[in-house]
Amino acid sequence: MTYRPIENWSLHEPAAYGSDGGRFVANLNYALYIAGFFTGITAVVGVVLAYLRRGSASVLVRSHLDWQIRIFWHCILAGIAIVVLHALVIGLGALTFGVGLVFMVVPWAIGAWWLVWTIWAIVKGLQRLSRGEPIR
């Protein structure tokens, strides 16, 4: 296999499945991630599908599947941080007879950041996929 810079990648290499090189799967995953805001479990289905399909996808679709995997793990880490901070602030509130609950704004701010970043990442991926561009 020869080295090819990203500018020279063939974005429409044949894939082991589907004539679209897997674009349907990438679009489906973005839809599953959007539904994940309401159900949670569909995001897990999406990341499993991304892991299963990225080996046989075209270069273009593989970049999107890798992006979707990255989105999932960033969301898991943000969720853990939010839960831990909520527990710490509630504990602080219990120790200070409720005064420490003013710090509840910290996990809420991280939650708002997580929501905005995740929506941005999904929209960015959908836009680039619709234009036939990889995620860099």
Each residue's pLDDT tens digit, 25-64: 999 999 999 999 999 899 999 999 999 998 989 999 999 9
User: Considering the chain, what percentage of its residues have pLDDT values greater than 90?
Assistant: 76
136 belongs to a structural domain: no
pLDDT of residue 18: 57
110 belongs to a structural domain: yes
Each residue's pLDDT tens digit, 55-108: 989 999 999 999 999 999 999 999 999 999 999 999 999 999 989 899 999 999
Distance CA 23, CA 65 (A): 10
Instruction: Residue 24: name the closest of 73, 57, 71, 68 by CA.
Output: 57
Q: Domain residues for 92?
A: 18-130
Structurally, the chain folds into a number of domains equal to 1
* Mean pLDDT, all residues of the chain: 88
Give the CB-side neighbour count of residue 11, counting CA atoms within 13 A. 15
